[in-house]
Structure 1
Amino acid sequence: MKFPSEIKPVRATRAATTVLPLPETTQNFLIRKGNKSYKHQYSNIYFLRLRSLRQSVEEAALAKWKNLSGKPVMVPRVLDVINSQLCYIIGTVYLHMPLKPNVMIDIARDHSIPPPPPPTKFYSDNDSIMLEDESGRIRLVGEVLKGKNIVTGIIIGVLGAETAEGDFKVVDICFPELAPQAFGEIDLEDAMDTDGDEWIGFVSGLEVGKTTSIDAQLQMLTEYLTGEEGGEDDQLSAAKISRLIIAGNSLAPGALAERIETPSYAERKARKKELDPKTFTPNPIYDLSAYLLDIARVMPIHILPGPGDPTGTMMPQQPFPRGIFGDASTRFSTFHLESNPAYINIASTSQPSCKRHILVNSGQPLDDMFKYLPTPPVTRLSVLESTLRWRHMAPTAPDTLWCHPYFVADPFVIRETPHLYVVGGQPEFGTNLITDETQIGRRIKSRIVLVPNFAKSGMLVVVNAKTLEVRCVNFAVDGMMTAEDDVISEETQPLYSQEEPKLAVPDFTMGSDTMDSQQD
Structure 2
Amino acid sequence: MKLMDEEMSSGHLERTTLPYKNSSDRFVLTNHAAENEPTCYRRQFASLYNVRLSAFTGSLTAAAEKKFKGKVPFSTLTDLKKEEKCYIIGVIVKQQKLRPSVLLELADEAGAQPQPVAGTRIALETDYLELEDDNQIVRLGGKINTDDFVTGVVVAVMGKELDNDTFEVEEIVYPPMATPAPSSPIQLQGDAFVLFVSGLSFTGKDGEDGNVLLSLLMMQRWLCGELATDREELEMISKISRIIVAGESIARSSEDREFSEKARYLTRKETSPSVECVRNVDQFLMHFAPLITIDLMPGLGDPTNHMLPQQPMHKCMFPKASKCAHMLNLVTNPYQAEIGGRTLLGTSGQNLSDMLRLCSERRTALDILESNLIWQHLCPNAPDTTDIFPFKFSDPFMITGTPPDIYFAGNQKQLEHRIMERPDGGKTLLLSVPSFKNTSTAAIVNLRTLEVFAQDFVVGEVE
Question: Could you tell me which amino acid in structure 2 is paired with residue 457 of structure 1?
Answer: T
Comparing 361-370 with 227-236, greater Cα deviation is found at 227-236
Q: Does 1:359 align with 2:345?
A: yes
CA deviations on 1:29-86 (whole Å, 9 max, x unpaired) are 111222222232211110010111112222222232228xxx32121x1221111111
1:105 match = 104
State the secondary structure of the residue aligned to 2:106: helix
Aligned partners of 2:94, 2:294: CA distance in 1, in Å? 40
Q: Which residue of 2 aligns with 1:469?
A: 451
Residue 127 of structure 2 is matched in structure 1 by 127
Secondary structure of residue in 1 paired with 2:26: coil
Of the three residues 225, 228, 234, the one matched with 1:227 is 225
1:254: which partner in 2? 253
CA separation in 2, counterparts of 1:118 and 1:450? Answer: 24
Residue equivalent to 1:350: none
Q: Structure 1's 7 and 310: CA in aligned 2 closer, same or farther, altered over 3 A? A: closer
Deviations 1:175-198 (A, max 9, x none): 1143333675657xxx8xx74322
Would you say the 8 A contact 1:359–1:421 is kept in 2?
yes
Letter in 1 for 2:326: S
Mapped contact 1:181–1:419 kept (Cα < 8 A):
no
Residue type at the aligned position of 2:398: V
Are 2:386 and 1:385 equivalent residues in the alignment? Answer: no
Matched, 1:66 2:69: yes
Shift of 1:397: 0.2
Question: How far did 1:421 drift?
Answer: 0.8
Other-structure match for 1:445 = 427
Residues 5 and 109 of structure 1: is their aligned pair in 2 closer, same or farther, counting only changes over 3 Å? closer
Q: What are the residue-to-residue correspondences of 1:389-428 with 2, within 5 Å?
A: 389-416=374-401, 417-428=403-414
Structure 1 window deviating more from structure 2 (331-340 vs 84-93): it is 331-340
1:339 maps to 2:347: no
* Unpaired runs of at least 5, structure 1: 269-279, 348-354, 481-503, 505-520
Q: Secondary structure at the match of 1:312?
A: coil
Question: Which residue number corresponds to residue 493 of structure 1?
Answer: none
Answer yes or no: is 1:435 the counterpart of 2:399. no
Is 1:299 matched up with 2:299?
A: no
* 8 Å Cα contact 1:204-1:247 kept in structure 2: yes
Is the Cα contact below 8 Å between 2:252 and 2:301 reproduced in 1? yes
- Could you tell me which residue of structure 1 aligns to residue 156 of structure 2? 157
**1:127 Cα offset (Å):** 1.5
Deviation for aligned residue 1:20: 2.2
Q: Which residue of 1 aligns with 2:37?
A: none
Aligned partner of 1:487 in structure 2 is none
CA contact (8 A) 2:87 2:156 kept: yes
Determine the structure 2 residue equivalent to 1:57: 60
Residue of structure 2 in register with 1:201 after alignment: 195
Q: Distance in 1 between matches of 2:274 and 2:62?
A: 56
State the alpha-carbon separation in 1 of the partners of residues 8 and 120 from structure 2. Answer: 53
Residue 79 of structure 1: SS of its match in structure 2? coil
Note if contact 1:130-1:138 (Cα within 8 Å) is conserved in structure 2.
Answer: yes
Separation in 2, partners of 1:93, 1:299: 44
Deviation at 1:147, TM superposition (A): 7.1
The 5 Å alignment of 1:70-149 reads 71-75=71-75, 77-109=76-108, 111-112=110-111, 117-142=117-142, 144-146=143-145, 149=148
Q: Is the Cα contact below 8 Å between 2:8 and 2:226 reproduced in 1? A: no
Mapped to 2, the partners of 1:145 and 1:6 lie a distance apart of: 59
SS at match of 2:325: coil
Alpha carbons 1:29, 1:411 under 8 Å: kept: yes
- 1:35 touches 1:406 (CA, 8 Å); kept in 2? yes
Aligned match of 1:283: 276
> What's the TM-score once normalised by structure 1's chain length?
0.78
Moved more, 102-111 or 448-457: 102-111
Kindly state the Cα deviation for residue 314 of structure 1 after the two structures are TM-superposed: 0.8
Partner of 1:508: none
The equivalent of 2:270 in structure 1 is: none
Instruction: Encode CA deviations 1:111-157: one digit per residue, 9 max, x unaligned.
Output: 24886655422311221211011121111111x21276111000011
**Distance apart, 1:338 and its partner CA:** 0.8
CA shift, 1:251, in A, is 1.5
Query: In structure 2, what is the Cα distance between the partners aligned to 1:101 and 1:7?
Result: 53
Flag the 1:253–1:186 CA change in 2: closer, same or farther, 3 A: same
Percent identity of the aligned residues?
30
Change in 2 beyond 3 A, CA 1:183/1:246: farther
RMSD (CA atoms)? 3.0
CA distance change for structure 1 residues 203 and 165 in 2, over 3 Å: closer, same or farther? same
Compute the TM-score of the two structures, normalised by the length of structure 2.
0.87
Q: Distance in 2 between matches of 1:335 and 1:246?
A: 11
Counterpart contact for 1:458–1:476, Cα < 8 Å: yes
Contact 2:312 2:330 in 1 (8 A): yes
* CA distances 1:292-338 after superposition (whole Å, capped 9, x unpaired): 11211021110011112122211111110111111312432231111
What secondary structure is seen at the aligned counterpart in 2 of 1:62? helix
Q: Deviations over 1:383-417 (max 9, x none)?
A: 11010010000000001111100011000000121
For residue 105 of structure 2, what is the amino acid of its counterpart? D
Partner SS, residue 437 of structure 1: coil
Q: Which of 19, 44, 49 is 2:47 aligned to?
A: 44
Change (3 A) 1:477 1:117: same
The CA distance in 1 between the partners of 2:432 and 2:69, in whole Å, is 37
> Residues 7 and 149 of structure 1: is their aligned pair in 2 closer, same or farther, counting only changes over 3 Å?
closer
What is aligned with 1:518?
A: none
Q: What is the alpha-carbon distance in structure 2 between the residues aligned to residue 11 and residue 326 of structure 1?
A: 24
Note closer, same or farther for the CA distance 1:312–1:220 as it changes in structure 2 (3 Å cut).
same
- String of CA shifts for 1:236-264, please: whole Å, max 9, x gaps: 32211000100001112238727944879
What is the aligned residue count? 442
